[in-house]
Structure 1
Amino acid sequence: MTTEEWQRDSDNIQVEPTGTSMPDEDDRRIIELGYEPVFKREFGRLSSFSFSLSISGLYAAIGTTFGYGLQAGGAPAVVWCWLIAGSGCMCMALSVAELVSAYPTSGGLYFTLKYLVPTKYIPLTSWLCGWLNLLGQVTTVASTDYGCSQLLLAAVSMSTEFCYHPTAGHTIGVMAAIAILHGLINSLSTKWLDRITKWYGIFHLVVLVSASTSLLVCQKEKHSAKYVFIEIQPHSGWSPVGFSFLFGFLSVVWVMTDYDATAHIAEEIQNAAVRAPQAIASALFLTYSLGFLFNIVLAFTMGDIENLLSSPTAQPFTQIFYNVLGRTGGIIFTLFAFIILNFCGISVLQANARTIYAFSRDELLPFSKVWIRINSYTQTPLIAVWLSVTLAVSINLIGLGSYTAIAAIFNVCAIALDWSYCIPIICKLIYGTETGRYIPGLWNLGTFSTPINYWSVIWTAFVSVIFLMPTNQPGTVENMNYAVVILIGILVFAMIYWFACGARKYYIGPRTNQHCHKEKDNSWDFVSSLCENDQVTRF
């Protein structure tokens, strides 16, 4: 069967199960899209929103990236870069949410290419999109766990009045323990993950309000409005000043990314075609607006910029709380950041495991039959969970030899994710109406869709250049940004795997129920036996 014949046949197949065990509308949609429903839909409106909000890890993520804005241009870069870059990120989030509504599967935007490009282009475009998305997901897990370790050790250092200085070995060791903890939590059933997730957003918002209030009340020597909004102080070494200012965008883009994480748990969300995009859009808008206000608070209360950039913990954010609130206050709010970033780590690990599962059922990954296995008790892909943990720890082990190398890998996460979103968006703009297969979901942008899609692509292209440049001058071997090397290396690997290892001979894109035959028994109990490419092993 040719790719064109497979596409035509699979698009015309509608499996309508009958019998005593009937699927709900969400599962009917998954069957129509060609997959066997295997997850329990435990995530409701609150937990879906909380999951999306936790992905940004706003309070903690600002904490771990605050130094980029300070080096780029001081307080004005911290404030204005958030406002400018955040608008671009919001356009991308809205564009992603629209596609998620149309095709709410664990494959996320990768799956949408089945309906967005001409049939002959589906295999190669989905292959590249899938590998970029997987690269972004894996490095996001690794960088989040590493950030958790840094925050915890910063609190320990603070408790010793900075007599203790964390080593690379300490950081990696704590990171490994944190990654295993996240793996254990993700080994629970979806029901328990739903119960835990509901608290993420509530705790996060409480910490954000209490941190802002504490800084504003306790900092007696606040900066002037002119200092915060106008007086640019570049410390990156780049010139002119305007170019240095651009590097402040990096902090924002690292915080406001991984928009499709909620898409990867869409098969576990109730009324996913509506609630998944709603969660993405509302959580990112809250992140954008509250992040802007929180950065203004930090800019007014941060004190001397030189003191922050030379912080013994190498964390200017935690140094602000130490300077303003003293050792106890500093430790408490640093630990709050640690807890919130753990919430983020648990969520990105769950999304990554579902990504591996979704890609494996389409045979995009090596040894796909192993990673697709579903645990019969938890009804979740436990092997994929622990593969994610193993990859995260393995990547972070590079930090024992070179922080520069591991930083380059972390730099790749946002750019890889954003381009894995841009590929489907670009295809939608070029071929969306031409293919005749794309139908907007219940949640869509209407007449604003096209301009928002265009701006999200233009913004990503612009900020990608900044992501691939060193943030400080003069450039040295130590501070060079090797992200471009990692990114090209992964793309070369994916293409070698495609051409040399024979992937192009068996990979046909998202593998839906092209082998289902309606003349056979269509009952719910026999869906998996009718769909040869969607057999799921349970253990």
Structure 2
Amino acid sequence: MHVHHHQPEGPAAHVSEIGEVQVEQIQVNSVLTSKHIHPVITDHIVGADEEALAALGYKQEFKREFGLWSSFSVSFSLLGLLPSIASTLVYGLGYAGTAGMTSGWIGSMVGILAVACSMAELCSSMPTSGGLYYAAAVLAPPGWGPLAAWITGWSNWLCQVTSSPSIDYALASMMLALKSMHDPSYSASNYQIYLLTVAIMIVQSIISSMSTKFLARFNSAGTIFNSIALVIAFIVILAGNERDSPKFNKSSDVWGTIDNQTEWPNGIAMLMSFVAIIWTMSGYDAPFHLAEECSNAAVASPRAIVMTASIGGIFGWILQIAIAYTVTDINAVFEDELGQPFVTYLTQCLSNKLVNFITALTIVSAFFMGQASMIAASRVCYAYSRDGCFPASFIMATVNKYTGTPVNAVWFNTIIGCLLLLLIFAGDVAIGAIFSVGAIASYVAFTIPIAMRIFFARKTFRKGPWHLGNYSFPIGLLSCMFVLVMIPIMCFPWARGADNTPDQMNWTCVVYFGPMLIAISWYFIYARTFFKGPKVNIEHAIYDTADDQVVVNNPTGVYDGVETTPYHSSEKSKEV
């Protein structure tokens, strides 16, 4: 893949003149450029990052204390490869056997990397926390921007708001399963799982409310721990393997034999196993949402996206291979009363002490994963609230003056998450739906702006410093085709026909498309009267067509601005 990029000497490599930012000269795709914008009004010298953000229509309200490594750290922690693979083992191994974990992982990663690279290209040209939602609005055909942004934003937020609850539910279940291993008479009740999950979310919310600098350091530590835990788990599974002869499964069985656990043909079963990989690899958009807190965002953020998808894909595949070669009885993994397929798998090949050790590593990794998910979700909620997408948006669109982070958005998502966790009391099928919802919701949101880019904005798209060059269209087309195939597959139930009873049903289509239908209906019934796409919060100059004079105003028309005061950053740039 040939990727063009340019990295300036630093955030202050290019600065604008005091008093203005020439929007049409900045290498971004902005809602302002379609309005024949002249300078954005500023009251101080701005660096390259702040200048690009101003050209996109937003004030600098966060401190830029993330870099390439810390942005990558949040997204890599959000992948949480060890706990993600543990939580989704029922989909990968359970649908197509070991072939779904090995050969299936390679096939799925081709599509996933295409999506990641296309998203990175969008991020470089629109480095704002609004991310995919903003891109969909800018790149959509004339008149369709608000609807495209609305669908993308709600789908992305639905993914984000269900992410932490699903991660923490799996974490709490694993913790209580570990207790059951040591005390066979103990069986966790639903209210114990619920209370423990809520307690974990509260702790993570407190951490997520801290300053950007603290979060960058905390998630860097989380990434280091997750990486080390993944390597240790891989080594322990292979070196500590206590299976009777043969020590490992045959390669022909591991790679080529589809152990179809569904009632569908082998090809469909293999595609269904992709759900595990897609859910595991659905957090690499985090650097996009952290772009307003990242230095040299137009280059560092897209690099972090691609690094997360590629490195995560390789490491995750390696762990999948280790599991595929050491599992002894696939059916027993899912039929065990413990209710934790990964822990049950570990007992097939490791001693009790090593099972406890790997499970403990998975638990700690899952905590870092859930906390990273909460950070990404809060930035999405903040960005969309800033543009009035939610009722009482002004509350969530507030940046805390002490921490410099969107604390209100953090706790709003936490409250919603705790309410979603009440599905625990409706049974395993109901609570399990939030896992698959995260996968389909994220990739729908990922693909809408990519589709807009390759089908409607090929000639008008302004490439950022990181882009795909001549490969942009074929890679974008591949990503759209991949997601188009996988959306219905992710809604397929395990059984079909008369065997597809309510307890065997895949409720993803209801849990995802139900809320999305409500959101879209709300748009057409009422929201379209006030929601016009991204709302800029800076003052800028436009042509007054009556007398061809430049006047200070906000844009009108498709992207309706809000009434604002002249641009004053909450943190004036120190680079001159």
| Among 165, 173, 188, the residue aligned to 2:210 | 188
Tell me, yes or no, if the aligned pair for 2:211 and 2:403 is still in contact at 8 Å: yes
Q: Please give the alpha-carbon distance, in whole angstroms, between the structure 2 residues aligned to 1:14 and 1:410.
A: 46
Take 1:232 and 1:401, find their aligned partners in 2: how far apart are those partners? Answer: 33
Deviation at 1:9, TM superposition (A): 6.9
Residue 10 of structure 1: CA displacement? 5.1
Structure 1 residue 309, shift from structure 2 partner: 2.2
Q: Distance in 2 between matches of 1:239 and 1:195?
A: 47
Q: Per the alignment, in what secondary structure is the counterpart of residue 243 of structure 1?
A: helix
Match of 1:103 in 2: 126
Q: Match of 2:535, as an amino acid?
A: R
- Residue in 1 that maps onto 2:261: 235
2:412 to 387, 391, 398: 387
How far is 1:56 from its partner? Answer: 1.1
Do residues 177 (structure 1) and 202 (structure 2) align? no
Query: Which of residues 79, 82, 86 is equivalent to 1:63?
Result: 86
What is residue 3 of structure 1 aligned with on the other side? none
Deviations 1:112-166 (A, max 9, x none): 1343123321111111111111111111222122122122222222232x43222
Q: Residues 48-88 of structure 1: CA distance to partner in whole angstroms, max 9, x if unpaired?
A: 11112112111110011112222222212221111111111
Residue 393 of structure 1, CA deviation: 0.8
Contact 2:60–2:570 (CA under 8 A) maintained in structure 1: no
Q: Give the deviation of 1:241 after TM superposition.
A: 3.0
Q: Is the 8 A contact 1:58 1:255 kept in 2?
A: yes
- Tell me, in whole angstroms, the C-alpha distance in 2 between the residues paired with 1:476 and 1:311: 21
Alpha carbons of structure 1 residues 9 and 246: separation in structure 2 relative to 1, 3 Å: closer
Quick one: which amino acid aligns to residue 97 of structure 1? Answer: A
- Segment drifting more, 398-407 vs 463-472: 398-407
Q: Deviations over 1:439-483 (max 9, x none)?
A: 111111111111111111111111111111112452111121121
Q: Which moved more, 1:48-57 or 1:177-186?
A: 48-57
Kindly provide the amino acid, as one letter, of the partner of residue 451 in structure 1: P
Q: Is the 8 A contact 1:9 1:514 kept in 2?
A: no
Partner residue of 2:540 out of 501, 513, 516: 516
Aligned CA distance change for structure 1 residues 480 and 347 (closer, same or farther; 3 Å): same
Q: CA deviation at 1:303?
A: 2.1
The secondary structure found in structure 2 opposite 1:248 is helix
**Residue 246 of structure 1 pairs with residue 282 of structure 2:** no
Q: Is 1:219 paired with 2:229? A: no
CA gap 1:362/1:337 in 2 versus in 1, 3 angstroms: same
Q: Residue type matched to 1:260 in 2?
A: D
Q: What are the superposed Cα offsets for residues 368-400 of structure 1, whole Å, 9 maximum, x if unpaired? A: 111111111001111110001111111011211
Partner of 1:529: 565
Deviation at 1:111, TM superposition (A): 0.6
Q: Is the 8 A contact 2:343 2:355 kept in 1?
A: yes
Q: Given residue 312 of structure 1, which amino acid in structure 2 is its aligned partner?
A: E
Cα displacement (A) at 1:318: 1.8
1:24 counterpart = 2:47: yes
**2:139 alignment partner in structure 1:** 116
The separation in 2 between residues aligned to 1:353 and 1:182, in whole angstroms, is 12
1:524: which partner in 2?
none
Q: Secondary structure at the match of 1:120?
A: coil
Identity percentage of aligned residues: 31
Query: 1:424–1:239: structure 2 CA closer, same or farther, 3 Å change rule?
Result: closer
Give the secondary structure class of the aligned counterpart of 2:464: coil
User: Per the alignment, do residues 391 and 11 of structure 1 end up closer, same or farther by CA in structure 2, a change over 3 Å counting?
Assistant: farther
Specify the code of the residue in structure 1 equivalent to 2:349: V
Question: Once superposed, which parts of structure 1, at least 4 consecutive aligned residues long, lie more than 3 Å away?
Answer: 6-11, 513-521
More helix by share: 1
Alignment correspondent of 2:557: none
Matched, 1:259 2:284: yes
Contact map agreement 2:539 2:552 (CA 8 A) in 1: no
Segments of structure 1 that go 5 or more residues without pairing to the other structure are 1-5, 522-526
SS in 2 for 1:303: coil
Q: Structure 2 vs 1, CA of residues 8 and 227 (structure 1 numbering), >3 Å: closer, same or farther? A: closer
Which of the numbers 83, 86, 96 marks the counterpart of 1:73? 96
Looking at structure 2, the residues matched to 112 and 516 of structure 1 have their Cα atoms a distance apart, in angstroms, of 21
Residue in 1 aligned with 2:57? 34
SS of the residue corresponding to residue 530 of structure 1 reads coil
Residue 12 in structure 1 maps to residue 37 in structure 2: yes
Question: How much does 1:316 deviate?
Answer: 2.2
Q: Secondary structure at the match of 1:14?
A: strand
Between 1:273-282 and 1:165-174, the stretch displaced more is 165-174
In the superposition, relative to structure 1, how do residues 167 and 379 fare at CA in structure 2: closer, same or farther (>3 Å)? Answer: same
Q: Which amino acid aligns with 2:85?
A: I
Is 1:198 equivalent to 2:220 in the alignment?
yes
Residues 539 and 565 in structure 2, CA contact (< 8 A), matched pair in contact too: no
- Per-residue displacement from partner, 1:2-49 (whole Å, max 9, x unpaired)? xxxx96675614325344xx3322111111111111111111222111
Whichever residue aligns with residue 270 of structure 1, its letter is S
**Counterpart residue identity of residue 566, structure 2:** L
**8 Å CA contact retained: 2:155, 2:444:** yes
Deviation at 1:288, TM superposition (A): 1.0
The more displaced of 487-496 and 335-344 is: 487-496
AA partner of residue 253 (structure 2): Y
1:165 to 187, 190, 200: 187
Is 1:122–1:509's contact at 8 Å kept on the other side of the alignment? yes
Distance 2:328 2:137 in 1: 53
Structure 2 residue 481 is matched with structure 1 residue 423: no
> Under a length normalisation based on structure 1, what TM-score does the superposition of the two structures give?
0.91
Q: Which amino acid aligns with 2:124?
A: S
**Retained in 2: the 8 A contact 1:269–1:275?**
yes
Q: Report how many aligned residue pairs link the two structures.
A: 518
After superposition, the C-alpha distances for 1:275-316 in whole angstroms (9 at most, x for unaligned) are: 111111011101111111211111111222233222332222
